[in-house]
Structure 1
Amino acid sequence: MEYRRLGSTGLKLSALSYGAWVTFGRQVGRSDARELIALAYDHGVNFFDNAETYNAGDAERLMGDVIADLRLPRDAYCVSSKVYFGATADPRPTQKGLSRKHVFDACHQALQRLRVDYLDLYFCHRPDPDTPVLETVWAMDTLVRQGKVLYWGTSEWPAERIDEAHRVAREHGLVPPSMEQPQYNLLHRDRVEREYVPLYADHGMGTTIWSPLASGRLTGKYNDGVPADSRLGHPDYAWLRDQLLGDEAASKKIRALAAVADDLGIPMARMALAWCLKNPNVSTVILGASKTHQLEENLMALDAVPLLDDAVMARIEAAL
């Protein structure tokens, strides 16, 4: 495993990490979750990603129970939560958003569900148009000073909003955000490669990227339909299936990328993950495999990075 600093912080995260979005508590039950987390940890993964809204809090409960069962040493792994959407299907006004009230309540609830005394990483899951940025920054600063959060960041915030968070933190002597969690993959690039570029140099922001395989599209397994046992084959994810598989232009790109991977002699998923790892501004790539054989394959992506030389990267650009 390779370890990378989280932006300009001193925290070193495994270049490949593991997350619970749309899997834990639905596709993945307790037994499978235990095998997956144990496998990831045994391969050097030290960051496990979660959020209050994932399966209405059940993903955090499951992850917390499994990590406790495995007796992983607390000083050897990092765990995250995210706040904004709430942990209920129909949240009341104080059960969502980035007000000081909800940021505090959601943090304490995540600590209980994950069975830890502090969160290593805590993300503002989306920008909140109804809450002043200063209020959210102050709430996060308080949690850091209380020792309940070590590093806080944002997820899918526009760059100007992140700039504002840094500005108010500087003006008021508060702890600024250290990282952003954006979607980043071969089909979704602009925010990480263009919009956020000034943030890396100006603020030392790290990135913990999600959906590096575009919810499985970049594995190639959906090129000829939707397998019944796949994520997009699950009835709860019909919205995701319709969103992803209706893009014919993307399908054409995926078939062209598959040809590049075939010439390299590696699965397309491994190439897609290695491509994400090539970006020096990516602190960690969050894997979301729901089966151990998938996770084992994904964890081999680091070995594929040297294969992506300038000529191969040029072929990938041409395919896109």
Structure 2
Amino acid sequence: MARLGRSDIDVFPLVLGGNTFGWTSDEENSHRVLDAFVAGGGNFIDTADSYTSDVPGNSGGESETIIGRWLAARGNRDSVVIGTKVSQHPRFKGLAATTVTAALEASLVRLGVDHVDVYYAHFDDAKTPLAETAGAFDALHKAGKIRVVALSNYSGPRIREWLDIARREGFEPPAVVQPDYNLVTRQRYEREIAPVLAEEGIAAVPYFALASGFLTGKYRRVGGFRKAEPYLAVIGAFLTGKNRRDRQAFGEAVRRVVASRYFTEAGLAVVQAVEDIAAARGVEMSTVAIAWLRTRPGVVAPIASARTVEQLPALLAAAEFDLTADETAALDEVSARVK
């Protein structure tokens, strides 16, 4: 277990992402994944009030509802850490104080709990004064409705600004930051965010740990993204209602298009390095990629999602898999070339 920043919360060094719940994983399969994650030692589950409002037929909060029903069925609320987010739900856009408060109340109902352990400002809201948002989070913390204030997708300067406001006003400061960080997305985190976290003792809980599946090598093996049109066509058919029966095909198409930004010569060199180490050590590529992320400054627990139970063992293995110094150096060197 690892301590979550300055908080008193101990977490397994891998977070289960709940973004597939209610999208490519139905409720039954989602519960199976949650059961297997906990059975494997996991205890930190990440979701958001907006998951998955962008999927036609959904309204937002589906992931929270599925997790809430699982918590109620298993009676294990006290043994798991729940993190959720505010600012992107269709009914609760932005981070005005009244929005933050109302959104949390709705999340608590869907989750069936009286408090959230880690509450994230999901995306920065330039239209709302940062002091107003920080004050709203502080009020929820003082009311016992959230244990930890957290930020997601915030720049280094804006994290500093929030911290300055918290010191000046006596607000509870952020203890967790959730950045986009992996072997092919290093520069922004390492340049502007990691130094702030190091100075302040803030924990990093990175998302896109596998770069939307790119670091598993599976897309390269089927030809990469040189022809995106077929996947865009699948997405278009789903969004326009021409074919909404196959959510898994839609989800796969979305992941391919998102991961296409990594499809460069430098990115493929990283994939090859990950595959070489995985083959030599007899583990999955996802295990190697997440293990590297665990070694980075400030990182406490990377986030990874599993659509099925079969995908979980390789992710859980990363929590205990240690790279050698030479392997780490090789990955550091090849991934530093990605711009």
TM-score normalised by structure 2 residue count:
0.85
Contact kept? 2:163, 2:173, Cα under 8 Å: yes
- Please, which of 212, 217, 220 is the counterpart of residue 215 of structure 1? 212
Structure 1 residues 149, 83: CA separation in 2 closer, same or farther (over 3 Å shift)? same
- 1:190 deviates by 2.0
CA distance in 1, matches of 2:326, 2:202: 30
Structure 1 residues 173, 318: CA separation in 2 closer, same or farther (over 3 Å shift)? closer
- Please, which of 34, 37, 61 is the counterpart of residue 65 of structure 2? 61
Contact kept? 2:29, 2:308, Cα under 8 Å: yes
Map 1:276-315 to 2 at 5 A: 276-305=293-322, 308-315=323-330
Q: Aligned AA for 2:3?
A: R
CA distance in 2, matches of 1:68, 1:220: 37
- Please, which of 84, 95, 99 is the counterpart of residue 96 of structure 2? 99
Map 1:227-238 to 2 at 5 A: 234-236=249-251, 238=253
Structure 1 residues 98, 37: CA separation in 2 closer, same or farther (over 3 Å shift)? same
Structure 1 residues 118, 236: CA separation in 2 closer, same or farther (over 3 Å shift)? same
Q: Would you say how many aligned residue pairs link Structure 1 and Structure 2?
A: 306
- Please, which of 54, 70, 74 is the counterpart of residue 70 of structure 1? 74
- Please, which of 212, 236, 257 is the counterpart of residue 242 of structure 1? 257
Map 1:131-210 to 2 at 5 A: 131-210=128-207
CA distance in 1, matches of 2:332, 2:200: 29
CA distance in 1, matches of 2:252, 2:324: 36
1:266 equivalent to 2:283? Answer yes
- 1:310 deviates by 1.6
Q: Aligned AA for 2:282?
A: G
Structure 1 residues 188, 63: CA separation in 2 closer, same or farther (over 3 Å shift)? same
- 1:193 deviates by 2.2
Q: Which residue of 1 aligns with 2:14?
A: 16
**Secondary structure, aligned partner of 2:313:** helix
- 1:82 deviates by 0.4
CA distance in 1, matches of 2:247, 2:194: 32
Contact kept? 1:51, 1:82, Cα under 8 Å: yes
Contact kept? 1:98, 1:136, Cα under 8 Å: yes
- 1:105 deviates by 0.8
- Please, which of 119, 134, 140 is the counterpart of residue 122 of structure 1? 119
Q: Quote the RMSD (CA, aligned, Å).
A: 2.1
- 1:57 deviates by 0.9
Instruction: Give CA deviations for 1:6-39 in whole Å, capped at 9, x if unaligned.
Output: 1122221111121111x11121112111111111
- Please, which of 268, 279, 294 is the counterpart of residue 251 of structure 1? 268
- 1:189 deviates by 1.4
CA distance in 1, matches of 2:293, 2:197: 16
Structure 1 residues 76, 138: CA separation in 2 closer, same or farther (over 3 Å shift)? same
- 1:164 deviates by 0.7
CA distance in 1, matches of 2:12, 2:220: 31
**Secondary structure, aligned partner of 1:319:** helix
Q: Aligned AA for 2:312?
A: L
- 1:100 deviates by 0.4
* Structure 1, 201-210 or 151-160: larger mean CA deviation: 201-210
- 1:130 deviates by 0.1
Contact kept? 2:194, 2:297, Cα under 8 Å: no
CA distance in 2, matches of 1:62, 1:149: 20
CA distance in 2, matches of 1:185, 1:69: 35
- 1:128 deviates by 0.4
Task: Show structure 1 runs of 5+ residues with no match.
Answer: none
Aligned residues with identical type, % of pairs = 31
Q: Aligned AA for 2:148?
A: Y
Contact kept? 2:287, 2:317, Cα under 8 Å: yes
Q: Which residue of 1 aligns with 2:88?
A: 85
Contact kept? 2:48, 2:85, Cα under 8 Å: yes
Contact kept? 1:52, 1:81, Cα under 8 Å: yes
CA distance in 1, matches of 2:197, 2:17: 23
TM-score normalised by structure 1 residue count:
0.90
CA distance in 2, matches of 1:4, 1:165: 25
- 1:113 deviates by 0.6
CA distance in 2, matches of 1:225, 1:177: 42
